[in-house]
Amino acid sequence: MRAVTVGGVRIDDTFAEAFGMRATAVIVTADSIRWARQAALTMTGFATSVIGCGCEGGMDAELTATQTADRRPGVRVLLFAVSTSELQKQLQTRVAQCVLTSPGSACYAGLEGEETLRLGNALRYFGDGWQISKRFGGKHYWRIPVMDGEFVCEATTGLTKEAVGGGNLLIMGRTARATLAAAEAATAAIVKVPGAITPFPGGIVRSGSKVGSKYKGVPASTNHAFCPTLRGAVDTALDPDTACVLEIVIDGLTSEAVAAAMAAGIAAVVKLGPRRGAVRVSAGNYGGKLGPHHYHLRDLLP
Amino acid sequence: MNPVVLTLRGRPDQRLDLAPLVPHRLAGMTAAEIERIELQTTRRRVLLGDVFHLRMGDAAQIRIEASCDNLDRIGHQMTGGEIVVDGDAGAWVGRLMTAGRLTIRGSAGPWAASGMSGGTFEIFGSVGDRLGGPGPGEVAGMRGGVVLVRGLAGERAGDRIRRGTIVVEGDAGAYAGSRMIAGTLVVVGRAGRLPGYLMRRGTIVLGKEAAELSPTFIDCGVHDLIAARLIAGFIGGYSARAERLFRRPLRRFAGDMATLGRGEIFSRA
């Protein structure tokens, strides 16, 4: 595999292979940004991978009081799943258990779309008959009485079928510390890209997986070609100077958002340089036959 | 784009039915055809050309000038476009309107916005009884859209409305929001006796203490609700005076407990 070197960082001539997904967005507001963040964080907890969590989710952007419907600070949350029905189920349970329960919260549609998912229309039954429907300005809200006043929730939110999940970067360094610094720089840059999230803890995965396993019934297992401790024992993908690999997985509402997020991540790693950060950037794929979206790193160079 | 302008030559000696004069019905008609439209409500025939001076233009916009209070059913079943009335209007103005913009620069008679389901209807002056109310035999009144009255409203404003928003910047007569099924009614001024009489659901917001509140409305305390901010954000686009009402915590009365009791009246704390 040929590689180009940019700013001392080797960028592999390879591509990330990603898949079409269903996605939605909601805006969670609260009396303060601290509580809006808390509700959003709780709602997107245990939402790292569709393999085990049912959906992938994250905070897309923080919104100021002038940008939200109720003029309070808020957070836009994105959720991604493999089917509309699973996305509906995840949205409903997560908003019910994590946003409805959070002090002072309200929840609004975060995406316009011809197709919609039930939001307040599903949660209103919590009101046990005391819920109030309000329609004005083309919007439909539900007011559900709760112990700190009312939980206001928009009736529906938009659904997109153009979303992409599984954009990724593999960041390799000489030490764990330097590699983490590079990965942190990349996620900090990706946070600023609208419409894209990094669902893993802090945006970073240390346990990249491959499809399948030697054991029956295990759908995914450790990506042994990228494990530095197995370097001598397996057909490794690592260079002799690599001691640590961290992956950043990116989901976006559009293919363009994923490409922009990957480009922002590569630029941040290159900017940090090989001395303080990573020495090599690669990407994961399945040979190009499984996923319809291919993001070639050479097209995303800074 | 020049509007079709209809200037009333003088006060007609019978009430006229202006229901045919809406953009979608005038579209594609020639001046001669428009002048032959019959407007009478008695046995004596009145053609449009007899009582109005017509200046042709694009029928998407209609202007009625020198209007008076015996022109009924202006904007009837209006589906889009714009009608501006310079002067007063009669009864049943904006009835069954579904979209578009209707403006009365004077005052309007009873049953304005009756059965309206969409669009924006603004009255600069005052309006008669049963604003937005149902017609004879109908179960529900207004079903959507926005009605803005800059002056006063008569009795039973918002009678049996099901959806939509009515803002009265002045005072309202007795029984404002009577029998409301749902929807929103804001009275910035003072409401007469027994607002929300037998309302089932819906929201009434009063800028001043009502002349008499029914004992079947139960005080639920003073609250600063998110829903009030949302309504304020929406109403602010139409009436700054109405928006100001929502800027402070409001006292919530639940009622009318003489019926379903899922409605609410908000008033200043």
Encode pLDDT of A116-147 as tens digits: 999 999 999 999 999 999 999 899 999 999 99
At residue A10, the pLDDT reads 96
**Over the stretch B48-96, which tens digit does the pLDDT of each residue have?**
999 999 999 999 999 999 999 999 999 999 999 999 999 999 999 999 9
Which one has a higher pLDDT value, B247 or B33?
Answer: B33
CA distances A238 to A173, A182, A245, Å, are: 10, 17, 9
Which residue of chain A is at minimal alpha-carbon distance from B220? A149
Contact status of B230 with chain A (Cβ, < 8 Å): yes
Best B199, B226, B252 residue to mutate vs chain A (most A CBs within 10 Å): B226
Mean pLDDT in residue range A246-251? 97
A125: closest CA of chain B, how far (Å): 15
Mean pLDDT in residue range B120-132? 98
Mean pLDDT taken over chain A: 95
Name residues whose C-beta falls within 8 Å of residue A52's C-beta, 6 or more positions apart in sequence: none
Which residue of chain A is at minimal alpha-carbon distance from B165? A136
CA distances B135 to B99, B108, B112, Å, are: 19, 17, 11
Mean pLDDT in residue range A155-164? 97
Q: Say whether pLDDT at A202 is over 70.
A: yes
Mean pLDDT in residue range A58-72? 96
At residue B269, the pLDDT reads 79
Binned at pLDDT 50, 70 and 90, residue A289 comes out as confident
Would you call B230 and A130 a contact, using CB atoms and an 8 Å cutoff?
Answer: no
Mean pLDDT in residue range B216-242? 95
Helical ranges in B178-239 per DSSP H: 226-235
Q: What DSSP letter does each residue of A148-211 carry, written as one string? A: TEEEEEESEEEEEEEEEEEEEEEEEESSHHHHHHHHHHHHHHHHTSTTEE--SGGG-BS--EEE
Q: Which of A194, A301, A191, A199 is nearest to A247 (CA)?
A: A199
B262: closest CA of chain A, how far (Å): 7
At residue A3, the pLDDT reads 82
At residue A144, the pLDDT reads 98
Mean pLDDT in residue range A229-257? 95
Contact status of B234 with chain A (Cβ, < 8 Å): yes
ipTM attached to this prediction: 0.93
**Over the stretch A100-114, which tens digit does the pLDDT of each residue have?**
999 999 999 999 988
Would you call B225 and A141 a contact, using CB atoms and an 8 Å cutoff?
Answer: no
Would you call B233 and A70 a contact, using CB atoms and an 8 Å cutoff?
Answer: yes
Count of positions (residues) in chain A: 302
Residues of B in contact with A67 (CB under 8 A): none
Phi, psi of A35 (to 5 degrees): -80, -25
Q: Say whether pLDDT at A1 is over 80.
A: no
At residue B11, the pLDDT reads 95
Burial classification of residue B182, based on how many CB atoms lie within 10 Å of its CB (0-12 exposed, 13-18 middle, 19 or more buried): buried
Instruction: Tell me which residue in A130, A137, A152 faces B227 most closely, judged by beta carbons.
Output: A152
Would you call B233 and A71 a contact, using CB atoms and an 8 Å cutoff?
Answer: yes
Count of positions (residues) in chain B: 269
Would you call A152 and B201 a contact, using CB atoms and an 8 Å cutoff?
Answer: no
Contact status of B165 with chain A (Cβ, < 8 Å): yes
* Long-range residue pairs from A90-93, CB within 8 A, at least 24 positions apart, any chain: A90/A47, A90/A54, A90/A55, A90/A57, A91/A24, A91/A26, A91/A117, A91/A119, A91/A157, A92/A118, A92/A119, A92/A122, A92/A123
At residue A126, the pLDDT reads 97
**Over the stretch A12-59, which tens digit does the pLDDT of each residue have?**
999 999 999 999 999 999 999 999 999 999 999 999 999 889 999 999
Contact residues, A window 45-74, toward B, CB-based 8 Å cutoff: 69-72
Whole-model pTM: value is 0.93
Instruction: Tell me which residue in A70, A130, A149 faces B230 most closely, judged by beta carbons.
Output: A70
Which residue of chain B is at minimal alpha-carbon distance from A134? B183
Q: How far is C-alpha A274 from the chain's CA centre?
A: 26
How far is Cα B135 from Cα B137, in angstroms, rounded to an integer?
6
At residue A302, the pLDDT reads 86
Q: Which amino acid is at B188?
A: V
User: Cis link prior to B86 (omega < 30° from 0)?
Assistant: no
Best A102, A131, A132 residue to mutate vs chain B (most B CBs within 10 Å): A132
Would you call A143 and B227 a contact, using CB atoms and an 8 Å cutoff?
Answer: yes
How far is Cα B157 from Cα B173, in angstroms, rounded to an integer?
7
Residues of B in contact with A106 (CB under 8 A): 226
Which residue of chain A is at minimal alpha-carbon distance from B263? A132
How far is Cα B182 from Cα B161, in angstroms, rounded to an integer?
6
Contact residues, A window 101-140, toward B, CB-based 8 Å cutoff: 106, 130, 132-137, 139
Mean pLDDT in residue range A266-295? 93
Mean pLDDT taken over chain B: 96
